[in-house]
Amino acid sequence: MPHRLPSGLITGSVKAEIHPTYIDCTMTCACGAVYHARSTKAQVRLGICASCHPFFTGTQKLVDTAGRVEKFRRRFDAAAAAPKAKKRA
C-alpha cells in the first residue's frame, strides 16, 4: 500500500516489468574524462563534458565536425583576399 509523505509525495513499490533496469554506467568523453553513474546502458560516449565545455572552462574550443571549420576558414580567407570590385553609378 502506498504511503503519503508529509511533503505530499507518494511512496511505494513500482509496477513490475515496465521500468528499465538501471545498471552502473561508464561515461567517457572525447577529452578523456571518465564519469561513473547509473543508466540503462553500460557505456556512454560523450562528445563534450563539464571538463572540456567552454562554459565551465572559460576557454573557447572549436569542435570540428567533418572539416567544416577548416572549410569555412578557407572560404573566408579567400573572400577577404579577393579584391573588391567597385560599382559604377
Q: How far apart, in Å, are the Cα atoms of 24 and each of 54, 67, 68, 69, 88?
A: 28, 35, 36, 37, 70
4, part of any domain: no
Kindly tell me if the per-residue pLDDT of 85 is higher than 70: no
CA-derived radius of gyration, the chain: 26
pLDDT tens for each residue of 39-80 = 999 999 988 888 887 777 777 766 666 777 788 888 888 888
What's the one-letter identity of residue 52? Answer: C
How many structural domains compose the chain?
A: 1
73, part of any domain: yes
User: Distance between terminal CA atoms of the chain?
Assistant: 86
Residue 67's domain spans which residues? 18-81
**Per-residue DSSP letter, 65:** S
Give pTM, 2 decimals. Answer: 0.46
Report whether 54 contacts 72 (CB < 8 A): no
